[in-house]
Amino acid sequence: MDGPATTDELLQHSSEPPVREHRWRIRLAGIAGLILTVLVVVIGWHARESSSRNRLLQEIRDHGGSVGVSNYFTSDIFTDIDDQLARWTHKLVCLPKPLQSTSLKLEGLYFDNEWLKQAAPQLSNKSRTLHLTFFKANITDDGLVPLKGFSDLRSLTIDHCGLNGRGIASLSGHPSLQELHLLDRTIVDDATNEIGVFPVLEAVDLTTTSLTEDGLFWLTRQPGLRYLHLHGNLITPKSVATLNSLPLYYLRVDKVDDKVIKQLSALTIPVRLTLRVDQLTSASLPDFQRMTRVTYITLEEPSSTPRPPSLSTDELEELRRTGIDIRRRL
């Protein structure tokens, strides 16, 4: 039977709203505390990461390396071509300030395989783009394996290091590598057979790598290759056949003979030639005149036993009239 509420019932109902409000305050305080804890942990983690990275960069400087910032991911050697293409290249590679890239040069024997293995987690994925150079470092082909984790690596230069080319094969398929420079080191032809596709590779510099005509075939697997520098490598008729199958915008070569010059005259891409004066002969002149895409020819005297030019003054003047810029460096 319903009747008037007792005093206890009135007190119970009157206390429910304050109790619920108190519970919500406790819950909100707990959530706020959790968020604050997470923020502290994240900030602390980033601080430790930043501190660890800064120590690593200082270690690089202390042992002869260098750290910099760059606006470009294509090297100067690929822009010394005719003005129109140079302007296009500059427009292509110039990056706005927010996308500037970290550039690291690891120089000297201190930087070896083990060092790179330990440092790789700190060096990779810490900037939007990354240029990495090894110069006279104690890096072998096996030591390049950690570079697979450098997902933002744009440019890799290996200069005077102990590699034969198989380490490059281990990086095949790298998703962001656009430039590859292998300088002054003998690359074994057999090793290049193992090099697969680099999907966005645009520029390759193989200065003085002693690659033969067979060692160039791996370049045909690179669908986006546009710039190729083969200074110091012997070019043969078979080499030219390989080069002619590439989607190049620019080619730089030397060490050619009359037969090769004849084949090069059929190329439709800009070509830069660096020749010794004794390589340029009267027999080559008609083929040079057909090389309408030669940007310029640098004539060099042999350093040990200078010899007079094989072309006469009149013949050189005739070449100049074709529009070829002949620069003679004695």
59-116 residue pLDDT tens: 887 877 777 765 444 444 444 444 433 333 333 344 344 444 577 888 888 889 999 9
Pairing state between β 66-70 and 203-205: unpaired
pLDDT at 177: 92
More confident residue, 229 or 300: 229
Query: Is the pTM of the predicted complex or chain greater than 0.85?
Result: no
Judge contact between 122 and 53, C-beta under 8 A: yes
More confident residue, 285 or 243: 243
pLDDT at 10: 47
Distances (CA, A) of 311 to 241, 264, 276, 318, 330: 27, 19, 12, 10, 15
Which range among 2-6, 13-17, 74-78, 312-316 shows the weakest confidence by mean pLDDT? 74-78
Is the confidence at residue 199, as pLDDT, over 90? yes
Distances (CA, A) of 15 to 4, 12, 19, 27, 312: 19, 5, 6, 19, 112
Judge contact between 72 and 93, C-beta under 8 A: yes
208-259 residue pLDDT tens: 888 888 889 999 999 999 889 888 888 888 888 888 888 888 888 888 888 8
Which stretches of the chain are DSSP H helices? 7-62, 83-93, 113-123, 166-169, 189-192, 237-244, 258-264, 285-290, 313-321
Give the mean pLDDT of 303-311. 54
| Spatial separation of the C-alpha atoms in residues 78 and 49, rounded to whole Å | 36
Of 189, 116, 206, whose CA–CA distance to 153 is shortest?
116
Topology, domain 67-255: 3.80.10
Q: Which tokens in the block code for residue 38?
A: 């997470």
> Domain ranges in the chain?
67-255, 273-330
How many beta carbons lie within 10 A of that of residue 19, not counting itself? 9
Is the confidence at residue 187, as pLDDT, over 50? yes
> What is the pLDDT of the chain when averaged over all its residues?
73
| Spatial separation of the C-alpha atoms in residues 106 and 67, rounded to whole Å | 9
CB neighbour list of residue 14: distance below 8 Å, 6 or more residues apart: none
Angle at 121 between CA 174 and CA 124, to 5 degrees: 45
| Spatial separation of the C-alpha atoms in residues 162 and 187, rounded to whole Å | 10
Of 304, 297, 305, whose CA–CA distance to 280 is shortest?
297
